[in-house]
Amino acid sequence: MARFLVRRILQGILVMLLVTLLVFGIFFLGGNANTVATRLAGRNATPQTIALVAKRLHLNQSVPLQYWDFLEQLVWHHNLGYSYFHEQPVGSVLKQAAPITLSLALGAAVIWLILGVLSGVLSAVKRGRIIDRAITTLALFFYSFPTFVLGLMLLFLVSYQLQKRGIRIFPGQGYVYFSASPTKWFESLVLPWITLALVSAATYTRLTRGSLLEVMGEDYIRTARAKGLSERRVVFRHGLRSALTPVASQFGIDVGVLVGGAVVTEQVFGMPGLGYTAVQSINNGDLPVIIGIVIVASAAVIVANILVDLVYAVLDPRVRLH
Amino acid sequence: MTLPSSIPATELDVPTTLDGEVPVAIRGRSTWQLAWARLRKDRAAIISAVIILLVVLMAIFAPVIAALTGHGVDHQYRTTGLTTSGLPRGPSGTFLLGTDDLGRDVLVRIAYGARISLFVGVVATLATVAIGAVLGMMAGYFSGAVDSVIARLVDLVLSFPFLLFAISLVSVTHPSLTVVIIVISVFGWAAVARIVRGQVLSIREKEYIEAARSLGASPWRIMFIDVLPNVVTQLVVYATLLIPITVVLEATLSFLGVGVPPPTADWGQMISESSTIYQQAWWFLVFPSLALLITTVSFNVLGDGVRDALDPRLNRQ
């Protein structure tokens, strides 16, 4: 188990190195020191700032040395760089945005996991009946829904229509901090949660249904039934346990991706989380922030992947042998 | 002779020729013929195919639609298309689906937008599947070092957040159709490669591959002549299911402002522009959204149908 864990962590570090190499390639190559420095310093940078950036990042050195420097700052000093647009370290910009993304992503994840798995189980158990058809049709419908279309439709059909009738339950856009008002915080998150959860739940419904149907055809399920167990016990104890493996791996990856920024949902609902900040940074020409978010987001995905593998290995000893 | 699809079940059995009659010829049916026979019975899939055909026709004949309405795609009708206070005009006899924030005809722009969506949907999907198939076959066939390198590349691609990659690229270059297609295919191939690799691992051990090898065929010849035809069904299924995902990705990139740049008519971009003004102009939000939604739902239903038709085991357990 320890060896398995060590190998997975080493693999994760290797992939993270490749990520930094790619980021470095995108942002630091393709131009001389001056153009790169101008790019990183932002649109309104003075020549002094540009010179300062070039000096700080050692842009006059050879490329391998520059990359080494970039890595050293990142790993040794936990320094994600400096945003010349915000006039503060990238780390503090991200610290302000992260809680917003986290409350959005984690809240939605809980909703879609429950919704997706339960509807998937129901659909598989009632296979071929009208309820199965209804669930599969709905799942296909929401699966086809682009997130931003669903979000805007909810804003238009729920928030705006209610507001027109004088009911202001869901604010249209924006985010309220939990510390400012817990109830307002909750209200500002309801529609974004629903948007993210409905689109994702559809994938989980399809995944759970397919996987459970496959498992229920196995011999050991017949054995469990032959023992005289109740159908509920057979489905939830015996069937679902192995049917949930692909669901768990999908869940890990999805949450990992979202923690790095629920880009579209944040953009639709004007919530200044990591994804929204990244999109704004294009318009602001604030590249250091984009670099920081990409690195944090990739790290989140890599950690999520390792956690998923770890959960697998605990649940299924065969995994450790590979 | 009857058509293949209407052969009665009895004719499929080996004919008995006890009294020396000439046996009825048995006609072999390819995977594709069998799949087509199943698919045409799937009413939802056929309806979706018809809708997709209509969208394709709308894209092809977008200039005709423009000519019929008399409205150019990028032309801003500032007097007829906007109200006196500068707001879009709703659906009417002149502007069937209303106008947008700049007084352009929404119907004509939806028709032209279909071109971008379908073009990216098809081209990026083909590129994705091609890259994935080649790398997947290499990983599966050569194994060893090649496999490890490709496996790490797959890990890299799958752990690099897709939208943020697009945002990064656009922040150092400029948004364009090419960037959109590159971003989508660079991110899609990994999933295809995984599937193909798994298939190739088992195909590699088959006798006919050994036979080809003993005849002195090169690895590349074996991969493309002997292995590829055996994974084509999976690739077709995957490609059909990938098209709607690609269409949504393209629209999403354009919605975020990192896709197709204005003034090119594009569904994602129209929806993005409408998001600030939908309270005064619902048609500007609703019609492009419907176009996008109808297209993706149809492709998904058709994709499910194609999958069931090509892989009937899934349905009959």
For B82, phi and psi rounded to 5 degrees? Answer: -125, 150
Distances from the Cα of A304 to the Cαs of A10, A317, B154, in angstroms? 14, 20, 16
On the question of pLDDT at B11 being above 50, the answer is: no
What mean pLDDT comes out for the span A292-299? 88
Contact residues for A300 (Cβ-Cβ < 8 A; gap 6+): A256, A257, A259, A260
Give yes or no for B134 touching A (CB within 8 A). no
The β-bridge partners of B82 are B88
| pLDDT (tens digit per residue) in B101-113 | 777 888 889 999 9
Residue B84, Cβ density class (10 Å: 0-12 exposed, 13-18 middle, ≥19 buried): exposed
For chain B, give the percent of residues with pLDDT over 70: 91
Span of A152-161, A227-236, B82-91, B280-289 with lowest mean pLDDT: B82-91
Looking at the complex, does the CB of residue B161 fall below 8 Å from at least one CB of chain A?
yes
- Report the pLDDT averaged over residues B151-165: 82
pLDDT of residue B122: 93
Residues of B with CB below 8 A from A26's CB? 168-169, 172
The Cα–Cα gap between A226 and A208 comes to 24
- Output the pLDDT for position B187: 86
- For residue B291, which of B90, B166, B108, B122 has the smallest C-alpha distance? B108
Categorize the per-residue pLDDT at B288 as very low, low, confident or very high, splitting at 50, 70 and 90: very high
* A321: pLDDT strictly greater than 80: no
Out of A78-82, A212-216, A302-306, B286-290, least confident range: A78-82
The CATH superfamily assigned to A91-315 is MetI-like (1.10.3720.10)
The percentage of residues in chain A with a pLDDT greater than 90, rounded to a whole number, is 13
Query: What local confidence, expressed as pLDDT, does residue B21 receive?
Result: 61
Contact B197, B203 (CB under 8 A): no
Domain boundaries, chain A: 2-79, 91-315
What residues of B are in contact with residue A263 (Cβ under 8 Å)?
163-164, 167, 256
Instruction: Answer whether residue B140 is part of any domain.
Output: yes
**Tokens at A61, concatenated:** 């050195």
Contact A149 B258 (CB under 8 A): no
Confidence of residue B293 (pLDDT cuts 50, 70, 90): very high
Give the span between the Cα atoms of A72 and A15, in whole angstroms: 17
Q: Which of B264, B239, B249 is nearest to B120 (CA)?
A: B249
Distance CA A240, CA B31 (A): 34
Residue B312: band (very low, low, confident or very high) from pLDDT cuts 50, 70, 90 = low
Inform me whether the C-beta atom of residue B167 falls under 8 Å from chain A C-beta atoms: yes
Tokens (6 digits) for A176: 């309220």
Once rounded to an integer, what is the mean pLDDT over residues B34-59? 89
Nearest one of B298, B287, B283, B190 to B248, comparing CA atoms: B298
Q: Which two tokens stand for residue A195?
A: 């948007």
Q: Which of B162, B256, B293 sits opposite A279 (nearest CB)?
A: B256
Q: What is the pLDDT of residues B236-286, one digit of tens each?
A: 888 988 999 999 999 999 998 888 888 888 899 999 888 888 888 888 889
| B23 occurs within a structural domain | no
* Rounded mean pLDDT, A170-176: 71
CA closest to A252 among chain B residues: B159
Whether residue B28 is predicted with pLDDT greater than 80 in this model: the reply is no
Would residue B11 count as lying in a domain? no
Please check whether residue A111 touches B, CB under 8 A: no
Does B281 fall in a domain?
yes
Q: Which helix (H) or strand (E) holds A89?
A: strand A88-89
Instruction: Identify the DSSP state of B87.
Output: P
Mutate to test the interface with A, among B42, B152, B168 (most CBs of A within 10 A): B168
DSSP element (H, E) containing B193: helix B177-203
Nearest to B252 among A148, A260, A293 (CB): A148
C-alpha span between B166 and B184 (Å, rounded): 9
pLDDT tier at A292 (50, 70, 90 boundaries)? confident
State chain A's mean pLDDT as an integer.
82
The alpha carbon of B151 is separated from its chain's Cα centroid by a whole number of angstroms, namely 25
Long-range contacts of the stretch B257-261 (C-beta < 8 A, 24+): B257/A279, B257/A282, B257/A283, B257/B175, B258/A279, B258/A282, B258/B166, B258/B167, B258/B169, B258/B170, B258/B175, B258/B179, B259/B175, B259/B180, B260/B116, B260/B175, B260/B176, B260/B177, B260/B180, B261/B174, B261/B175, B261/B176
Hey, is the C-beta of A178 within 8 angstroms of any chain B C-beta? no
For position B17, what pLDDT does the model report?
53
**Contact between A284 and A85 (Cβ < 8 Å):** yes
Q: What is the pLDDT of residue A308?
A: 83
Q: In this structure, are residues A80 and A94 in contact, taking their beta carbons and an 8 Å threshold? A: yes
pTM across the whole model: 0.85
Q: What distance in Å separates residue A15's CA from the closest CA in chain B?
A: 6
Examine the pLDDT at B7 and tell me if it is beyond 70.
Answer: no
Tokens of B204: 């590699």
Contact A294 B255 (CB under 8 A): no
* Token digits of residue B69: 């309405």
Distance in angstroms (rounded) separating the CA atoms of residues A189 and A68: 41
Q: How confident is the model at residue A51 (pLDDT cuts 50, 70, 90)?
A: confident
* Residue of chain B with shortest Cα separation from A147: B252
pLDDT digits (tens, 9 = 90+) for B171-199: 778 888 888 998 898 888 988 898 888 88
Tokens 């994840």 sit on residue: A109
pLDDT single digits (tens) A104-161: 999 999 999 999 999 999 998 888 889 999 998 899 888 888 999 999 998 888 888 7
Residue-level pLDDT at A172: 66
Whose tokens are 């004088």? That residue is A166
pLDDT at B317: 36
- Higher-confidence residue of A46 and A295: namely A295
Q: Kindly state the helix (H) or strand (E) to which residue A88 belongs, with its residue range.
A: strand A88-89
- A178: distance to nearest CA of chain B, Å? 26
- Which among A156, A267, A301 is the nearest to B278, CB-wise? A156
Interatomic CA distance for residues A152 and A191, integer angstroms: 10
> If you count DSSP H runs as helices and E runs as strands, how many of each does chain A have, helices first?
16, 2
Query: Do A294 and B160 count as a contact with CB atoms less than 8 A apart?
Result: yes
Q: How many CB atoms lie within 10 A of CB B218?
A: 11
Range of the domain at B296: 40-310
Number of domains in chain B: 1
- CATH number, domain with residue B287: 1.10.3720.10
| Burial (CB count within 10 angstroms: exposed 0-12, middle 13-18, buried 19+), residue A249 | middle
**Rounded Cα distance, B307 and B35, in Å:** 9
Asked whether the predicted pLDDT for residue B233 surpasses 70, the reply is yes
In this structure, what is the dihedral angle of CA atoms A231, A233, A235, A237, given to the nearest 10 degrees? -160
Using the Cα atoms of residue B148, residue B151, residue B155 and residue B156 in order, give the sign of their dihedral.
positive
User: Is the CB of residue B150 less than 8 Å away from at least one CB of chain A?
Assistant: no
Paired tokens of B16: 């008995």
* Average pLDDT taken over every residue of chain B: 83
Which of the residue ranges A18-27, A87-96, B23-32, B237-246 would you say has the lowest mean pLDDT?
Answer: B23-32
| More confident: B281 or B117 | B117
Q: Does B233 contact A at CB distance below 8 Å?
A: no
Which residue from B169, B252, B317 is facing A217, i.e. has the nearest CB?
B317
